[in-house]
Structure 1
Amino acid sequence: MKTNPEFFPMTGLATRFVNQLAQCRRLGLQVHEASEHHVLLELPYNEALIGYPDTGVLHGGVITTLMDTASGCAVVCAIKQKFASLEISPTLDLRVDYMKPAQPHKPIFGFAECYRLSSSVAFTRGFAYQDSIDDPIAHAVGSFMRISPEMIGDAFRQALMGDEQ
């Protein structure tokens, strides 16, 4: 799925962020779109991630990772847009409420938004879903610690900024 950078200007940054994380590469997470307001990721179905062999349903921990990544990525994009800087923002708290199991053999999408930035904490909310965001698999809320831009190493900064430097 190709996105229009005019409508989703943070997609490149979000893609580079996700690709820097080993667990995201292993899970095959893909960024569909990203803006200063939201991030949309896709987790492709993979039989290696099944948590319930009798049903083919993916393990809940994989969905938690999807939502943690989508939420953290939304924080990176919101900070970049608002302050024109990069910050490391580790997860302080993440709550994922599971509403129903994901259907086997279908991708899962993770939508997250950073709805508030305080001086030291970023707050997120989002949904994991398959066919419609109006029929979620899970709901997530999180908080992320804001750490000074100076704490980002040069190699990580260069990897995230890509050609935007």
Structure 2
Amino acid sequence: MTPDLTSAARDEIAQRFISALPYAKALGLTLVRLGDGMAEILMPWNVQLVGDPETGVIHGGAVFALMDTCAGTAVMSHASAPRRTATLDLRIDYMRAAMPDRVITARAECYHITRTVAFVRATATDGDDRPIATATGAFMIEPAP
């Protein structure tokens, strides 16, 4: 049986999930939108995250962490209300470098969920119509009792 989550309950679950991750705070991640199996998280440009000092481009590892967190948040907000999640597989295709001094936004959707595995798609952008990166992933879930 699938529990019916209210919007407020989903928001609380997602906020608890993100606030429990010290690296999310270090990256400045901010949850800006949440729905049933969907999440949107922002990561501000920060000189401490730059991977190339000459260009000011954010390191790909920070983009990866943003997308992984956003995808996990989308899973946690799914109507089936999983209690825990862990990344099993996350494939990211980097399309281009993020522009310096721009906020990076990740959007993820949990498009299919089984009893123990959730499947997610995500995209990262920096205000341009062209994506920085796209991702597909599988996440282990611990179902609600």
- The answer to whether TM tops 0.5 is yes
Matched, 1:117 2:83: no
SS at match of 2:61: helix
1:17-72 CA-partner distances (Å, limit 9, x unpaired): 11111110111100001011310000011000000011000000000000000000
Structure showing the higher strand proportion among its residues: 2
Distance 2:59 2:90 in 1: 17
The answer to whether the 8 Å contact 2:92/2:136 transfers is yes
Q: Displacement of 1:123 after TM fit?
A: 0.1
Q: Displacement of 1:148 after TM fit?
A: 4.3
The answer to whether the 8 Å contact 2:116/2:143 transfers is no
- The correspondence for 2:98, drawn from 82, 88, 102, is 102
SS at match of 1:89: strand
Matched, 1:147 2:142: yes
SS at match of 2:77: helix
1:121-142 CA-partner distances (Å, limit 9, x unpaired): 100001000114x421000100
Q: Which residue of 2 aligns with 1:159?
A: none
Identity within the alignment, %: 38
1:95-132 CA-partner distances (Å, limit 9, x unpaired): 01000000000110000000000112100001000114
Q: Displacement of 1:87 after TM fit?
A: 1.8
| Superposed CA RMSD | 1.7
Provide TM-score, normalisation by structure 2: 0.89
Q: Which runs of 5+ in 2 are unaligned?
A: 1-5
Q: Displacement of 1:86 after TM fit?
A: 3.8
Q: Displacement of 1:15 after TM fit?
A: 2.2
Q: Displacement of 1:12 after TM fit?
A: 3.6
Structure showing the higher helix proportion among its residues: 1
Q: Displacement of 1:88 after TM fit?
A: 1.1
Alignment size in residue pairs: 139
